[in-house]
Amino acid sequence: MADTTTTLKFAQSLSRLGTESAFVVLARAGQLAAEGRDIINLGIGQPDFSTPDHIVEAGIKALRDGHHGYTPANGIPALREAVAADLNRRHGVEVNPDHVVVVPGGKPTMFFAVMMFGEAGAEIMYPNPGFPIYESVIKYSGATAVPYALEEKNGFAFSAEDVLSKITERTRLIIINSPANPTGGVTPKEEIDKLVKGLLDHPHVALMSDEIYSQMLYGGREHVSLLQYPEIRDRLIMLDGWSKTYAMTGWRLGYAVWPEAAVDHVTRLCINDHSCVNAATQYAGLAALTGPQDAVRDMVAQFDKRREAIVGLLNDLPGVRCADAGGAFYAFPNIEGTGLTSMEAQNRFLDEAGVATVAGTSFGAWGEGYLRFSYANSLENIEEAISRIAKLL
């Protein structure tokens, strides 16, 4: 009989593709909970709030109204116009709706941006510790992934001087992210000014600014959008979306403002990849931008209270020190004093205390010695979680 054993030959590039470990922790936490363990999940990077009712209703209405077909690949015009109006309201900038491309979440923009610039011989810079998909996709593209450090001593802000010093002739794209995942760090305006000024000496370098947490800043901090710098508009990709701001992670809706020269390229990538975002989700997104914003304000106010609580509680733990987290919904304490590595702490806190967190090393090698706590959970659960960890330590 003929040998029917399959001998599939997967592409080499797959060996360079990483992952997002938060999803692995989520699966493990879910498994332990299914076994009857009482698990508090501080590992997950999504708001613990529901999508506001009026947004859900708009999605349902869109389905009832018969919006069942394809939409333009770059998004329905009314939604792109609403994005431009929202950016004008929030950042005081003029955006051409034709430069807005709506995609299924925040991630497709980073994937497309990296694929557009990345290939063997090219260099792309990314923050470390940072959102793990940056490094993963850069390597997948065949480009060299060049990390720059986000350091605790700088409040996890990037240093413009450091970033600029790493630019070479091969650099094609720099990725920045403020407020940042996993550190909660917010880069101050002076540093962003310096970066933009320095970039003018390097006209071959594009910039992707991931501003998905642009509405989550605390302690009087204000978001600085890279859109506010007209001198780099022709090379800026500004990523934002609905996932975090409107508690819509599962809807899959995001957008970016692209430089004019890249709009056709990204639109073709959309056509090749997903055709368009599902129509009902786009109508929900339109209601989110044009409707009342009080749910956003309330959610951010809750996050702020939890942030104060968790930073204080973490600083009281033996061997732990936690910087003031200025944005997003993450605290990123230094745990070196506990004698545990990041991965040991992640595993022991989950297995022995029933608290899910994510090891700093899941966000790049320079995350060793840190642990990410998401405070997208109730104050009660946060207090209980830290008290369990205190007992364990």
CA dist., res. 20 & res. 240, Å (int): 19
Distance in Å, CB of 217 to ligand PLP, minimum: 14
Least spacing, CB of residue 111 vs ligand PLP, in Å:
10
3-state SS class at 101: strand
Q: What CA–CA distances, in Å, run from 199 to 90, 122, 168, 231? A: 25, 17, 12, 10
Q: Which two tokens stand for residue 353?
A: 């205390």
**C-alpha of 348 from chain center:** 26
> What tokens were used for 323?
């910087």
Shortest CB 383 distance to ligand PLP, Å: 24
Ramachandran angles phi, psi of 239, nearest 5°: -95, 130
Residue 43 or 118 with smaller CB distance to ligand PLP: 43
Cβ atoms 152, 158 nearer than 8 A: no
Q: Which is nearer to ligand PLP, 107 or 233 (CB)?
A: 107
Specify the 3-state DSSP secondary structure of 160: helix
Smallest distance, Å, CB 131 to ligand PLP? 4
**Contact between 181 and 131 (Cβ < 8 Å):** yes
Which residue, 244 or 338, has its beta carbon nearer to ligand PLP?
244
Two tokens, residue 283: 């109508």
Q: Give least dist CB 145 to ligand PLP, A.
A: 16
CB of 133 to ligand PLP, least distance (A): 7
Q: Least Å distance between CB 179 and ligand PLP?
A: 8
Q: How many CB atoms lie within 10 A of CB 263?
A: 17
Taking the C-alpha atoms of residue 200 and residue 91, their distance in angstroms, rounded to an integer, is 22
* Shortest Å, Cβ 213 to ligand PLP: 7
Task: Report the nearest approach of ligand PLP to the CB of residue 249 (Å).
Answer: 5
As to burial, measured by CB atoms within 10 angstroms (0-12 exposed, 13-18 middle, 19+ buried), residue 307 is: buried
Contacts with ligand PLP by CB under 6 A lie at: 45, 105-107, 131, 177, 181, 210, 212, 241, 243, 249, 254
Closest to ligand PLP by CB, 191 or 210: 210
- Give yes or no for a contact between 300 and 215, defined as CB atoms under 8 angstroms apart: yes
Where helices occur in 96-180 by DSSP H, the ranges are 107-117, 132-141, 160-165
CB atoms within 10 A of CB 275: 12
141 or 178: CB nearest ligand PLP:
178
Token pair of 162 as six digits: 């450091």
Shorter beta-carbon distance to ligand PLP: residue 117 or 353: 117
| CB-count burial class (<10 Å; 0-12, 13-18, 19+) for 255 | buried
Closer by beta carbon to ligand PLP, 270 or else 393: 270
Would strands 358-359 and 254-257 be described as parallel, antiparallel, or unpaired?
Answer: unpaired
CB-wise, 131 or 332, nearer to ligand PLP?
131
